[in-house]
Amino acid sequence: MAIAFWINLAFLLAVVFFVWGLRLLSSPDTARKGNILAAAGMGLAILATLTMPMEGASNNYAWILGGMAVGGAIGWVASRKVAMTAMPQMVSIFNGLGGATAVVLAMVELMNLYNGDSHMEGGQLAISLAALVIGAVTFTGSMLAYLKLDGKVKDKHVTLPYHQALNILMLIATLALTVWVYLQGSGAGTNLALGLMVLSLVYGFSFVAPIGGADMPVVISLLNSFSGLSAAAAGFIYGSQVMIVGGILVGAAGTILTVLMCEAMNRSLLNVLIGGFGGGGSAAAQGDQTVREVSLTDAAIMLYYAQSVVFVPGYGLAVAQAQKVLKEVDDLLSANGVDVKYGIHPVAGRMPGHMNVLLAEADVPYPKLLDLDEANEALKSADVAVIVGANDVVNPSAETDPGSPIYGMPVLRVWEAKNVIVLKRSMNPGYAGIQNPLFFMDNTRMLFGDAKKTLTELATELKNM
């Protein structure tokens, strides 16, 4: 009785740590503490589970601890080596592995059922099948998202003609087979369950295949919610309250974030999933196409004597690992009395909060980070807007060109600043694959080169003033 009390107390504390950690993750200032707290909650839940007496269990701790040691070592090494630019890929892999775990657990229970080693009520069978299908879709969908984000797979290599129609047919077939397996009960057999697993795995891959690159932040959030739902379903299978609560928290958080991301893009989730935005469409070129460059010295003078500057970071900042150099430029300008802010677009980068994480790593004070509406208000009176690796989120075509794939998406109106300096490697289009008329506007000046090298040289110019 005493052991059960302490185990249940540990589970309760683990859940409290999950919720508290999730709350702290909502702000860059407290995100590190939240992550540590949630990890501590997971460790406590694992420890409580290992000490929980289970009737008929073999308690083979050698296999369990061996698996934990191998997995922990891989996770530790991977997390130490992963670059900030690869964080979205890592998140995709984590989502996928969570889904794969649910698939394995569901298949084990289904095989026990079909072999006559266990019995399931209707609700238990439904949950097992849900864990199997959702987990399989999450696994292959997340793995393809990883391959796309890492540049290993191009959209055109995995997309078929009428792919969306094919996806609808596959979804109907998957749901129909799931219902059929459920109705067959214990008589369905292992082969039918394996068939359902394979079909779900194929559908997960096909589901992500036609979604354009610029929609990947939304897809990652959605797959994250799927991984949470699969974990919750696995919790129901084994009657684990902590797995259920943890999975529901992840699923709910991922769903809310997905909705917020869609709102930030002014599009519905259905439109994201079937619209193919970011798949390489192009807007018509309009007006003067002359690019005006600026020298490092002129850019430094423009910034040094400005009253207000708004930096707009994008994926290029992450690629160049230039966040700390950008903070140095910020410090130099602030010491000269310049009001420095950062305009953060909700879908800048390759995953939700990507820019916030980068800037937090460089110790940029959180009050300097402005959300979309605040940044657009600040840009109206800004002397200089500096674009560091951003592209699609500052594209005026979203407001001016009905033929653009991003038309209707809220963007940062950097062109409303008195002057715009764009730090960019080349004139190549952004992740959405479309041209940006901002680069040709009269108040825009291009500063070509690697962002880290350019910002370092810019800092040197500012120090000499």
Q: Where are the domains of the chain?
A: 82-275, 296-463
Our CA angle for 43, 48, 52, nearest 5°, is 150
Cite the active site residues. Answer: 392
Residue 387: pLDDT band with limits 50, 70, 90: very high
Q: What is the average per-residue pLDDT within 197-221? A: 85
Distance CA 440, CA 180 (A): 59
Least Cα distance to 283 among 430, 155, 422 occurs for 430
- How many residues does this entry show for the chain? 465
Q: What b-and-e string marks burial along 105-126, b requiring 16 or more CB atoms within 10 Å of the CB?
A: bbbebbeebbeeeeebeeebbb
Our CA angle for 436, 440, 441, nearest 5°, is 105
Task: Copy the structure tokens of residue 87.
Answer: 């964080």
Distance CA 167, CA 171 (A): 6
Q: What is the average per-residue pLDDT within 371-386? A: 94
Please tell me the pTM assigned to this model: 0.77
The pLDDT of residue 212 is: 67
Helices (H), 189-335: 190-208, 216-238, 241-264, 269-275, 296-304, 315-320, 323-335
Q: Quick check: 335 and 327 in contact, CB under 8 A? A: no
Q: Quick check: 403 and 422 in contact, CB under 8 A? A: no
Per-residue model confidence as pLDDT tens digits over 443-462: 999 999 888 999 999 999 99
pLDDT higher than threshold 90 for residue 331: yes
Q: Give the up-direction half-sphere exposure of residue 207: CA atoms within 13 A in the CB hemisphere.
A: 25
Task: Copy the structure tokens of residue 122.
Answer: 């209707």
Q: Quick check: 422 and 291 in contact, CB under 8 A? A: no
Helices (H), 401-463: 451-463
**Could you give phi then psi for residue 461, rounded to 5 degrees?**
-60, -40
Lowest-confidence region among 26-30, 200-204, 230-234 = 26-30
Q: Quick check: 210 and 159 in contact, CB under 8 A? A: yes
Per-residue model confidence as pLDDT tens digits over 260-317: 877 776 667 776 666 554 444 444 445 557 888 999 999 999 999 999 999 999 888 8
CATH topology of domain 296-463: Rossmann fold (3.40.50)
The pLDDT of residue 1 is: 54
- The segment with the largest mean pLDDT, out of 269-283, 349-363, 374-388, is 374-388
The pLDDT of residue 434 is: 76
Q: Which residues contact 381 (CB under 8 A, 6 or more apart)?
A: 308
Residue 106: pLDDT band with limits 50, 70, 90: very high
Q: What is the average per-residue pLDDT within 337-356? A: 85
Averaged pLDDT of the chain: 86
| Residue in the block written with tokens 């992740």 | 431
Per-residue model confidence as pLDDT tens digits over 164-185: 889 899 999 999 999 999 999 8
Distance CA 317, CA 453 (A): 11
Percentage of residues in the chain having pLDDT higher than 70: 91
